[in-house]
Structure formats: C-alpha cells, structure tokens
Amino acid sequence: MKSLFALALLASSSSAIAASIGPEHQLYKRDLATSDPSYPSPWMDPEADGWEDAYAKARAFVSQLTLLEKVNLTTGVGWEGEQCVGQNGAIPRLGLRSLCMHDSPVGVRGSDFNSVFPSGQTAAATFDRILMNRRGYAMGEEAKGKGVTVLLGPVAGPLGRMPEGGRNWEGFSPDPVLTGVGIAETIKGIQDAGTIACAKHFIGNEQEHFRQVGEARGYGFRIAESLSSNIDDKTMHELYLWPFADAVRAGVGSVMCSYQQVNNSYACQNSKLLNDLLKNELGFQGFVMSDWQAQHTGAASAVAGLDMTMPGDTEFNTGRSFWGANLTIGVVNGTVPEYRIDDMAMRIMAAFFKVGKTIDQPPINFDFWTSDTYGPVHWVAKQGYQQINYHVDVQADHGVLIREIAAKGTVLLKNTGVLPLSKPKFVAVIGDDAGPNIRGPNSCSDRGCDDGTLAMAWGSGTANFPYLVTPDAALLAQAVADGSRYESILTNYAPAQTRSLVQQANVTAIVFVNADSGEGYINVDSNEGDRRNLTLWRNGDDLVKNVSSWCSNTIVVIHSTGPVLVTDWYDSPNITAILWAGIPGQESGNSITDVLYGKVNPSGRTPFTWGATRESFGTDVLYTPNNGAGAPQQDFSEGVFIDYRHFDKADAPLIYEFGYGLSYTTFEYSNIQVQKSNPGTYTPTTGTTAAAPTFGNFSTDLNDYVFPSNLQYVYQYIYPYLNTSDARNASQDPHFGQTAAEFLPPNATDSTSQPLLRSSGKSTPGGNRKLYDVMYTITADITNTGSIAGDEVPQLYLSLGGPDDPKVVLRDFDRIRINPGQTSQFRATLTRRDLSNWDTTLQDWVVSEYPKTAYVGSSSRKLDLSVVLA
Ligand SMILES: *[C@@H]1O[C@H](CO)[C@@H](O)[C@H](O)[C@H]1NC(C)=O
Ligand SMILES: *[C@@H]1O[C@H](CO)[C@@H](O)[C@H](O)[C@H]1NC(C)=O
Ligand SMILES: *[C@@H]1O[C@H](CO)[C@@H](O)[C@H](O)[C@H]1NC(C)=O
Ligand SMILES: *[C@@H]1O[C@H](CO)[C@@H](O)[C@H](O)[C@H]1NC(C)=O
Ligand SMILES: *[C@@H]1O[C@H](CO)[C@@H](O)[C@H](O)[C@H]1NC(C)=O
Ligand SMILES: *[C@@H]1O[C@H](CO)[C@@H](O)[C@H](O)[C@H]1NC(C)=O
Ligand SMILES: *[C@@H]1O[C@H](CO)[C@@H](O)[C@H](O)[C@H]1NC(C)=O
Ligand SMILES: *[C@@H]1O[C@H](CO)[C@@H](O)[C@H](O)[C@H]1NC(C)=O
Ligand SMILES: *[C@@H]1O[C@H](CO)[C@@H](O)[C@H](O)[C@H]1NC(C)=O
Ligand SMILES: *[C@@H]1O[C@H](CO)[C@@H](O)[C@H](O)[C@H]1NC(C)=O
Ligand SMILES: *[C@@H]1O[C@H](CO)[C@@H](O)[C@H](O)[C@H]1NC(C)=O
C-alpha cells in the first residue's frame, strides 16, 4: 500500500508554506487518488432482517404518493426555513408533517428544558455497553419529546485519526471496535425510544480544516474544492468502515455523508462509498442524508446514492436547490430514473416506520433559531408568526444517569494513595476550569469559548445546559457536609494568592485544567475547530507546575476533548493523583466529586493513547493547503496504524496507553480458557437482487408540476414545484439540456437485477451473516484482591499474526462489578470478522494463515494472559 499516494505525498512536503500556495503548486489531476464508479444505486431489499415490517408499511405509503410528494420527502426546505436545524417538505394530503432533522449527539440543540449528556468519548471511557445504551435511550426520549424525527448522531467519523481533530469528542474512540460498540448501543437506545438515529459523518471526516471551501476562506485560504481524504481499501475496511458496519447491523435508520472528499470525489456523490460500500456491501436499508451544504450536484448525487438533501438549498439561503424543482424535472425528463426517487422515498419512510413512528406525529414544540415563545415559524422569511416554543421539559430523571456515566467514564491515571478522599481537613480548589463561566453556562454561542469549567466542547454537537454543576459547587457542598475547610481560587492567574493558599498546612490541592476543541465554523483562541497543539489551555501547564512546586499534595483533574501532553509534570512526586474527566455534561461537579471521594470507585479506561510528544502520535492535521488552489490532499498513508496500533509498531514514547485506568482496589487475572466453536466454513454470498421496483406513477406533463395558484410562496423556501412549465426556465441549471447518457456514468440509470457482492449479506444488514459467527469463546477469572468493591474492565486483544498486522487489536471487553475477595468470570467472543483481514483482491474478509494469539488484560499493554488459537 506504500506507493499508492507517493505523488501526493511528495507535493505535501513541497508546499507547506502558505505564501507559496499558487496554481503552480497544484498537482496534476492524473496524479491524484481517484474513486471507482459503482452504479446503479442499490434499491431496498424487502426481506432485509429487521426491516420487513417497515418495508411493507413504507411501500403502502409511498405507493400513494405523487412525484411532487416524493420530491418533498427528499428535499429540505432550506436553511432556517422551519423550526429545526433541517426539515423536509410535508405531505399535507396524507397528514404527514415535515420531518425534523436535529442536532446533537449530546442533547437537543438550541432548545430549553433538555439535558446535556456526557460526550460520546466520555461514554466510551466507561467501556460499559449498558450505560452506552441507556444514554442513547434517554437522548432518544428527549428528542422525541421535542418533536425531533431524526437525531443527528451518533458519530463514528471522525474516528480520531489525529488527536488534534476538533470533533473527536463527539465520537467515541480511535479504536474501531470500541467505537463500533459505542455507536451500535447508542443507535439501539435512540431508536428503541422512537427516534431515528443518524450515523455520521460518512466517511474520512477526520479534520475540520478544509472540509468546506467557504469556511477555509474564513481563515485565509482560497481553495476551489474541499479536502480529499485518500484512504486505501484495506484501511477503509479494517478501520474507518468497521464501526459503520456495526451501525448498519444495529439497524440505523439514516447515515449522514460528510463534507470532504474521499479520493477526490465528494462524499455525498461518491458512488463507491454510498452505492458500493454502504448500500451494496453493508446492506444499508435506511436513507443517506447530506451534511449541511455537503451536496454539490443534483442528478449525479441522486444516482450516487444520496437520498435526502439537507438543509435543501444549494448553499445556505440561496432559495435554489440541486433537488426540489430540479429533481422533479430530472425524474420527468428521465435523467434520474423513477426507481431512484421511489427508493429515496422508501428508504426515508421505512426508517420512519422502523422506529415505530406513525403518520400522525406529535408537532414540533421548540424552535432552534430563537428561545422566544412567539415568532415566525419560517425564520429566515420572517413569515408565519405563531407560538413556536412550548418550553416542554423533557429531562425526566436523566440527571442521575448523566452523573453516573460521567463518573464511570472518569479515568484515574495516577494515584499515590491520596485518593479516595475521606473528610480531608482542608481542600483548596484551583483553576478557572473548576468554576462557572461568569456570563452563564450557555452564554457563548454553540459553546464557542473556553470560559469556566469545560463540560461541553463547541460546535453543532452541543445543547443548552439546563444547569451546570461546577466542580467548585459540588466540592464545596461535600466539604461543608464533611466539616472540611474549603477555599477555591477560580482563576489560573492569581499566582501570589494561589501560592499562599496551597502552601498552608494540611492542604489537599485540586487543580482543574482543560483543553477544548470543536467544529470548524467557530474559531476559539486561534483553534479553527481542530486543536492547534496538544498542550493545556489557559496556561494550564504553568498552573500545574506552579501549584505542584508549592504543594506536595497536588491532585490534577483534566477536562479535555482528547489527549494532552502531561510529560513535563505527570511524574512529579508532589502530584499525588491525576484524573481525566473527559467532557462530562451538566453534572460535571457531582460526577468528579463522586470519584474523588470514592462514592464511585473509578473504572473508566482511556479510550485513546496519551503520547509523550505531539510527534509521537505519527499523524497530524493538515493545517495548510498542499495542492495549490486545488483540493488539499490528506493521505492516510499510515494505514490502520493510528493510536495504540501506531505506538506499538513505532515504539513511540507514551505516558498512558489505550485502555489504561486505575481503581481504588486491585484485581488479578488468571485461568484463561478458550473454546472453539464450529460455525462451519465461510460462504460467500451469491445470487442477484430483484429488478428495481417502482411504486405509483407520474405524469410527464410539466404543467402538472407548476406552483399551485393558491400557494403562499415563502421567501427562500425550497419547493418541489416549477415556476413555469418550460423546463429550462424552471430549472435555470446553467448546463440544462444534457441527457443522462451525456453526463452520468455508465449504468447509472440501470434498474435491472444486480449481482450481490460476496462480502454482502443476503438480507443481512452489516454484511455477510457468516462474518458474525462466533469462532472462539475466551474466558478468564478476575479476582478483586483489594479491600473494596469495584468494577474491572477486562479487555480481549488479538494478534492477527501477519507481518503487516498491528501487534494487537482490541476485539471485546466488559465491565464487571466484583466484591473484595470474590472472583468473577470474564467471557468474550471472537467472531469471524474479528479474526479476518480485508483481502483487496478477493474483495472479502479472509482469515489469514498466520498464527493468532488472544490476550486478556486490563489495558492494551497489560496483557497478563494469552492463549494461542488453534
Ligand atoms: C481510494 O483509492 C485507493 C487506492 O486506489 C483504493 O484502494 C480505494 O478503494 C479508493 N477508495 C474509494 C472510496 O474510492
Ligand atoms: C411540499 O412541502 C411544502 C412544505 O411543507 C408544503 O407546503 C407543500 O404542500 C408540499 N407539497 C406537496 C405536493 O405535498
Ligand atoms: C437547479 O440546479 C442548478 C445547479 O445545478 C441551480 O443553479 C439552479 O438554481 C437550480 N434550480 C432551482 C429552481 O433551484
Ligand atoms: C496538619 O498539619 C500539621 C503541621 O504540619 C500537622 O502536625 C498535622 O498532623 C496535620 N494534620 C493533618 C490531619 O494532616
Ligand atoms: C496551545 O493552544 C492553547 C489554546 O489556544 C493556547 O492557550 C496555548 O498557549 C498553546 N500552547 C502553545 C505552547 O502554544
Ligand atoms: C506561575 O508562577 C510564576 C511565578 O510566580 C508566575 O509568574 C506565573 O504567572 C505563574 N503562572 C500561572 C499560570 O500560575
Ligand atoms: C514539592 O513541594 C514542596 C513544598 O511542599 C516543595 O518544597 C518542593 O520543592 C516540591 N517538589 C517538587 C518536585 O516540585
Ligand atoms: C396514476 O394511477 C392512478 C391509479 O391507477 C390513476 O388514477 C392516475 O390517473 C394515474 N396518474 C397518472 C399521472 O398517470
Ligand atoms: C420562482 O418564483 C418565485 C416567486 O415569484 C421567485 O421568488 C423565485 O426566485 C422563482 N424561482 C426561480 C428558480 O425562478
Ligand atoms: C433534465 O433535468 C435536469 C434537472 O433540471 C437537468 O439537469 C437536465 O439537463 C435535464 N435534461 C434534459 C435532457 O433536459
Ligand atoms: C454496466 O453493467 C454491465 C452489466 O449489467 C456490466 O457488464 C458493465 O461492466 C457495467 N459497466 C460499468 C462501466 O460498470
């Protein structure tokens, strides 16, 4: 795989300086990575596991629809056109209101009386499937209670290729298995609660820089096209696509295609990604929705597998759409085949019915654009003045769960014995990360600032806090209850006062520090979404160094969106404990107090590696365009070697390894046993699909599609109707008149029966059923050798054995409560997929001939037990 991107790599080193960017540095198109076409776009399978009822209901409904109604389902009404962050057209004739597509993966965005949950990354640190599922369920309930149809989450892209990646916290972990479990459990939770989940961002969306041309202009770079993530087939399958397979297998109703390009083809019109990988190979039955403004073509994106455009306009507030009227015309003139518009409508409605929704959905009771009770329902048009916010309280008792998840996701990185605290005589809390944002927890738009304690990072993946328990508030309350003396200095910038406080006798000093990041449309302290470095913010390192030079009992608590460099101070003897508290959500202070005082015995495990230096990670964000005015090229030339796989391979220096975390008790591992199952040999899928069905009929007379005379035209709103029955004038497409044969790839409109891929399932979302056969069951005994009860997170790793394989890869884990002196059994499985590599020639998963070893232990580097798989 090494030589694949050699040319692009060469160029990236030759044009690192912004000033040198110019057309002369642009690479020849022929030297860039390309994406193979894959057509036609697969249609739904009536027999797909878990989708049969939904398919039948969708077919009954879609069969009644007119072409205009189908187009309405697929096309957003435009940015700020309705109450949610995205909505499609309604079908008033049949009583279906517009569907509400709404953020975020931590809570209902821009609303009120909703909860703010811990980040996906913090949930991952619990290594607890049940908590991940309960978090999803609670978020699904809150979304439903507000009238949200599709919750825009959870996230497996970014996966976390670069620790600086701005949105890594929204997802789970750079390990595909941990992310796969996280995304699947979250999806099941959200959808069991009656809300459609949206697995995003598909795929290769690993950095914020250059994901959008307009955004890049905002920080000083003129590029004609978005970044291209160049990912080889093996890496795609073994790393980035892996968790999406789990999402599809969990029955996810929608997938969001991402902003950037993959192999120089935009993700929302890349047929290899959408038609081939997602719909053919993984057997995805739901609908693909574009990220906001990630669609760049009309008919081409339709045949490449896009099913819904969000928010519907070509760019925000143009009043024009690649779909809408254009899609109506495109179907009538045969550019977009009839089966394709029918399949789009089927996929949307099947996802809708699959989660138990009925046509008479309760109304949307909040408005994203304002917290005013009354206002225009069409925000940008300032039309339709009515009550738009009903201030419905959807929190239930979710605060209890939030507190538990953030406590159980807190990782104890160091403890010389000072923790847990027990009625300490005197607690001194230091740092602005312990206190409030004095302007209020929701004062910065989309949390685009780092003021006060970091309980949520920034961007669209946010929600308004109903309240925020700061560490200071919770620790103060604990101190008062205990009769401890308590003082806090809630700024990093009072060294004299801090020194005189922490030098006093009997002090337990707790220093709170953080590192923030977020989405690329907001710049915080020169961080354009992605972090510009891996150090602590607001002089956090100096603060820790100062306090620990003055006080021999310094505890450090870190809130961050990923690893930070702790190399300079972590081993100071005066630093008696270090905790990573992630991005905890609204109960932050209570959660950390529970851990510090031992009400929760810590058992979180770090879901990423803490490298010793920035360079030790081996990958970094591309901060400067490397292809002149063309699409910046980000070559994933490290292959599957990110995070711990890289550290193991390169023997790069690290401080805390993936999967590491301490407890207040101790555990011993023994007695590994392996049991082989006999699920039979792998059977490649054969056969073909049925031909594409169509549902209903449509008129080819354009007069039937012009605006109804009684319609009240809303400013900038996107409709399925035409202004005139003259197609060219109605479309205003500058290239109007080209036929499908002239500008669409071969087979793009083919509706005949198609061969099934050998790796794909016969009606089994997630891929070939045999991939999920259990091949081995591994057990081990774990004894709590300490004096208090605690949870242990045993982890199963596998060595695939080949010369190009990582040393070990995580394959299973559990979180088990064990009482002192007791022994519990850890039981883990290895499926055929777990044991396989992706064979690029065969285009299938294959178990190699190399000897395989399974390891059980408490982190990726503490693997006490091992067994060779026979
Ligand atoms: C990208 O290009 C590489 C190298 O040719 C290839 O292995 C991979 O399948 C391509 N991926 C996509 C999505 O086109
Ligand atoms: C399409 O959606 C719009 C907005 O919800 C609605 O006003 C219109 O009636 C719908 N058109 C059809 C044909 O259902
Ligand atoms: C149709 O799409 C083209 C771009 O392909 C766009 O320029 C035009 O404005 C669209 N027409 C309508 C009616 O939205
Ligand atoms: C408090 O500090 C004094 C002076 O160092 C020491 O004698 C005493 O033992 C300390 N008490 C506790 C509870 O740490
Ligand atoms: C790293 O970035 C943070 C946040 O912008 C900033 O506070 C800090 O000074 C930077 N560190 C270095 C060493 O430049
Ligand atoms: C650390 O202490 C030095 C010396 O007192 C002071 O100049 C500096 O501002 C302090 N920095 C922080 C962040 O506390
Ligand atoms: C540890 O703290 C003491 C004050 O209690 C100080 O004298 C000493 O220099 C500190 N040591 C380090 C390594 O910072
Ligand atoms: C579509 O089919 C229905 C039911 O057979 C029929 O009433 C209607 O006229 C047809 N419409 C068109 C446009 O062909
Ligand atoms: C269609 O007509 C409306 C109302 O007159 C106008 O605002 C809009 O710009 C027109 N759209 C096109 C594509 O001409
Ligand atoms: C068909 O309609 C689409 C969408 O407006 C347009 O892009 C295309 O040029 C049209 N083709 C013909 C042959 O009219
Ligand atoms: C188009 O489909 C036919 C069979 O349906 C196949 O033989 C041919 O290779 C396809 N062409 C392309 C370019 O994919």
pLDDT tens-digit series, residues 793-837: 999 999 999 999 999 999 999 999 999 999 999 999 999 999 999
Cβ contacts of 518 within 8 Å, gap of 6 or more = 166, 167, 446, 447, 448, 457, 458, 459, 461, 524, 527, 529, 561
Average pLDDT over residues 503-530: 98
Question: Which atom from ligand 11 is nearest to the alpha carbon of 38?
Answer: 14
Q: Does the C-beta of 505 come closer than 6 Å to ligand 4?
A: yes
How far is residue 85 from each of residues 101, 152, 378, 417, measured CA to CA in Å? 6, 10, 12, 49
Q: In Å, how far from its chain's centre is CA 632?
A: 23
Burial of 46 (0-12, 13-18, 19+ CB in 10 A): middle
Q: Give the pLDDT score at 23.
A: 46
**What CATH number is given for 52-96+254-354+697-760 in this structure?**
3.20.20.300
The residue type found at 870 is: A
The residue type found at 190 is: I
Q: What number of other Cβ atoms are within 10 A of residue 645's Cβ?
A: 25
Say if residues 563 and 608 touch (Cβ distance below 8 Å): yes
List, by residue number, the catalytic residues: 291
**Cα dihedral 342, 345, 350, 353 sign:** negative
Predicted confidence (pLDDT) at residue 334 exceeds the cutoff of 80: yes
Ligand 2 centroid to Cα of residue 81, in Å, is 13
Average pLDDT over residues 250-269: 98
Q: What number of other Cβ atoms are within 10 A of residue 831's Cβ?
A: 18
Say if residues 815 and 789 touch (Cβ distance below 8 Å): no
Helix spans in 506-539 (H): none
Ligand 11 centroid to Cα of residue 245, in Å, is 26
Tokens of 124: 């991952």
How far is residue 516 from each of residues 92, 169, 358, 454, 461, measured CA to CA in Å? 45, 10, 41, 7, 13
Q: In the chain, pLDDT over 90 holds for what percent of residues?
A: 95
Which of 329, 723, 726, 736 has most ligand 9 atoms within 8 Å of CB, for mutation?
723
Cβ contacts of 862 within 8 Å, gap of 6 or more = 660
- DSSP annotation of 13: H
Ligand 10 centroid to Cα of residue 315, in Å, is 20
Q: Give the pLDDT score at 25.
A: 63
Question: Which atom from ligand 9 is nearest to the alpha carbon of 713?
Answer: 4
Q: Whose CA is nearest to atom 8 of ligand 6?
A: 495
Q: Does the C-beta of 503 come closer than 6 Å to ligand 4?
A: no
CA angle at residue 127 from 123 to 130, to 5 degrees?
Answer: 80
Q: In the chain, pLDDT over 70 holds for what percent of residues?
A: 97
Radius of gyration from C-alpha coordinates of the chain: 27
Ligand 11 centroid to Cα of residue 674, in Å, is 47
Measured between its terminal Cα atoms, the distance across the chain in Å is 30
The residue type found at 331 is: V
Q: φ and ψ at 143, to 5 degrees?
A: -60, -45
CATH 3.20.20.300 region(s) of the chain? 52-96+254-354+697-760
Class of domain 669-679+773-869: mainly beta
| Mean model confidence pLDDT for the chain | 96
Tell me the C-alpha distance between 49 and 765, whole Å.
Answer: 7
Q: Does the C-beta of 543 come closer than 6 Å to ligand 6?
A: yes
Tokens of 639: 């292959």
Does domain 409-663 fall under CATH 3.40.50.10330? My reply is no
Q: Give the pLDDT score at 741.
A: 87
Predicted confidence (pLDDT) at residue 16 exceeds the cutoff of 70: no
Q: What number of other Cβ atoms are within 10 A of residue 697's Cβ?
A: 9
Burial of 864 (0-12, 13-18, 19+ CB in 10 A): middle
Q: Give the pLDDT score at 28.
A: 72
Question: Which atom from ligand 4 is nearest to the alpha carbon of 425?
Answer: 13
> Looking at 26-35, 113-122, 293-302, which range is the least confident one?
26-35
Question: Which atom from ligand 1 is nearest to the alpha carbon of 840?
Answer: 7
Tell me the C-alpha distance between 687 and 763, whole Å.
Answer: 12
CATH 2.60.40.10 region(s) of the chain? 669-679+773-869
Which of 421, 506, 507, 551 has most ligand 4 atoms within 8 Å of CB, for mutation?
506
CATH 3.40.50.1700 region(s) of the chain? 409-663
Tell me the C-alpha distance between 66 and 822, whole Å.
Answer: 66
Ligand 5 centroid to Cα of residue 407, in Å, is 28
Ligand 4 centroid to Cα of residue 576, in Å, is 17
> For the chain, how are helix, strand and coil distributed in percent, rounded to 5?
30, 20, 55
- Could you say which ligand is closest to the alpha carbon of residue 530? 5
Say if residues 269 and 295 touch (Cβ distance below 8 Å): yes
pLDDT tens by residue, 426-462: 999 999 999 999 999 999 999 999 999 999 999 999 9
Residue 326 three-state SS: helix
Tell me the C-alpha distance between 136 and 169, whole Å.
Answer: 16
Q: Is the pTM of this model over 0.85?
A: yes
Q: φ and ψ at 515, to 5 degrees?
A: -145, 125
Ligand 2 neighbours (beta carbon < 6 A): 68-69, 72, 77, 89-92, 98, 720
The residue type found at 310 is: M
Q: Give the pLDDT score at 739.
A: 87
